[in-house]
Chains A and B, each alone.
Chain A
Amino acid sequence: MPEGPADRAGLARVDFEFRRKVAQKIEGNLATFCYQCGACVGDCPAATYSDGAFNPREIMLKVLYGLGDELLVEDSVLWNCTNCYNCHERCPQQVKPVEVIISLKNLLADAGICPDPVAKVIEVFETTGRTVPPSAAIDRQRQRYGLPPLPPVPMDEIRALLEPSPDRREKP
């Protein structure tokens, strides 16, 4: 797609490729059912406390319009989601906006874009199988309470599960 989201006439162009990519992620296709009622916005804490800078209805609209390059950027607004699930609770169409946002974050990750604090937690998980790494200090604390040291996580099993499958069923 050589041109940006708006062509010379100022009209938005639907980026179908982006829409297909979102739909291939788990539950990304749910955005299709959004009819823009805005029920997700009223109860969204990130919308309330950002004075509307974060707006789940607008994010769903951008997915429908295929405006990927407004969402899949460094410092994307997507990271302001609090993952509170209010939108999931309120949506009359069961769009699960929070899950569509997670699908978009998966696309960001595919493009190698991730805020540092998030990347750090992911790295700890991928190397230790935990989001809080084991340490001698924590084992001392545990001992104080008569608790055994943190048991090891079988990382061979975890690593085996994280490998994408060559099977085409896993391919987009």
Chain B
Amino acid sequence: MKRFAFFPGCLIPARHPAMELAIRYALPKLGIEIVDLEGSSCCPDPLYFKSKDKLSWLAVAARNLCLAEDLGLDIFTNCSGCTATLSEARHLLLDEALRSKVNDRLARIGRQYRGTAKVRHIASLLRDEVGYDRIRASVVRPLEGLKVAIHYGCHLLKPSLIMQVDDPNDPAVLEHLVRALGATPRRHRNWYLCCGKACQSAEVPARMMCHLLETVNEQEADVLCMVCPSCFAQFDYGQFKISQQFGKDFHTPPIYYMQLLAFAQGMPYENLGSERQRFKPECLNRYELVPTAGRHGNTLAHNGA
């Protein structure tokens, strides 16, 4: 087992616990031991608190990184926003003057930032530390015929100089991750657009989302897969609001990649928490009913996590 510190952030543990369940279900099957990062706070978010005071934002981010340094572990995150904050903090703290200011603040609580813990988004953790083959081998319900539209979101890829995950103009990591589950990725024409969450105008994100969802609809995808809980909310309730506002029939259920993975590994449908979703991925039910015999033995698993 490879050990990694799990930075949970806010949205997943405090709003979408079913996503956390999926992570805790899926990773141990892939040889990843999850070590909880005790005492972690909000990353802090790269949109709101950062807008108030970037130095304080940096100090709190550095404290979160210190927690993993103390354990001697690298961090993985489950949210693109957390990844953005922690990765950017690491990048900024290469600057000695800034690091010294931040360490002055950390000294108040008896801590020091050293820069020894790396940060990975869960998608790049899967690609680089697990590998697509091992993911494929862990699947007991191949999602054959499932058409999966993909939303990359912004902060997984950009700024590429800092994130260093994939080519922001033509990424492939999520397509590969979806294919490893036996499903068929569908890239929609407006895949590169943002979810609009951070924009405080009412009109800009609405028009953008509408444009984006039109091309998702053209793909006739069964689900819209993403790796960020912030984007998820935009595509669930947000999709409903946009449909009403523009008189459209957008209805592609959003799904967080780790939930799709855990489901393909045998986690029961009822553990996806879809009762709280506006658009439910009920299309997955057809895979749950298929008995999965063969090398995985008795894996019509209803054993939860």
Which A residues have a C-beta under 8 Å from some C-beta of B?
25-27, 45-46, 48-50, 54, 79-86, 88-89, 96, 102-103, 105-106, 108-109, 114-115, 117-118, 121-122, 125-126, 129-135, 138, 141-142, 144-147, 150-151, 153-154, 156-158, 160-165, 167, 169-170
Complex: how many Å from CA A132 to CA B11?
A: 7
Docked-complex contact A82 and B51, CB < 8 angstroms: no
Docked-complex contact B160 and A26, CB < 8 angstroms: no
Given contacts A82-B199, A138-B14, contact A106 B51 (CB under 8 A): yes
A129: chain B residues within 8 A (beta carbon): 41-42
Cross-chain pairs A/B with CB under 8 angstroms, 27 sampled: A45-B208, A49-B205, A79-B200, A82-B197, A85-B155, A85-B159, A86-B154, A88-B158, A109-B53, A121-B49, A122-B48, A125-B45, A130-B41, A130-B42, A135-B14, A138-B14, A145-B18, A146-B304, A146-B305, A158-B60, A160-B105, A161-B63, A164-B56, A165-B101, A167-B104, A169-B100, A170-B104
Complex: how many Å from CA A122 to CA B48?
A: 6
Docked-complex contact A145 and B42, CB < 8 angstroms: no
Complex: how many Å from CA A126 to CA B42?
A: 10
Docked-complex contact A125 and B49, CB < 8 angstroms: yes
Docked-complex contact B194 and A45, CB < 8 angstroms: yes
| B35 contacts partner chain A, Cβ-Cβ < 8 Å | no
Complex: how many Å from CA A88 to CA B98?
A: 20
Instruction: Find residues 178-208 in chain B having any chain A CB closer than 8 Å to their own CB.
Output: 193-194, 196-201, 203-205, 207-208
| B31 contacts partner chain A, Cβ-Cβ < 8 Å | no
Given contacts A121-B49, A145-B18, A161-B105, contact A83 B13 (CB under 8 A): no
Docked-complex contact B199 and A102, CB < 8 angstroms: no
A115: chain B residues within 8 A (beta carbon): 200
Complex: how many Å from CA A161 to CA B59?
A: 6
Given contacts A125-B48, A146-B304, contact A50 B108 (CB under 8 A): no
Docked-complex contact A161 and B39, CB < 8 angstroms: no
Candidates B17, B101, B160; contact of A141 at CB < 8 Å: B17
Docked-complex contact B38 and A80, CB < 8 angstroms: no
> Who on chain B is nearest to A108 by CB?
B51
Inter-chain pairs besides A130-B10, A135-B14, A153-B42, 7 sampled, C-beta below 8 Å: A80-B199, A85-B154, A118-B51, A131-B11, A131-B44, A147-B13, A161-B106
8 smallest A-B Cβ distances: which pairs?
A: A79-B200, A85-B158, A132-B14, A105-B51, A84-B194, A129-B41, A83-B198, A121-B48
CB distance from A100 to the nearest CB of B (A): 11
Docked-complex contact B51 and A109, CB < 8 angstroms: yes
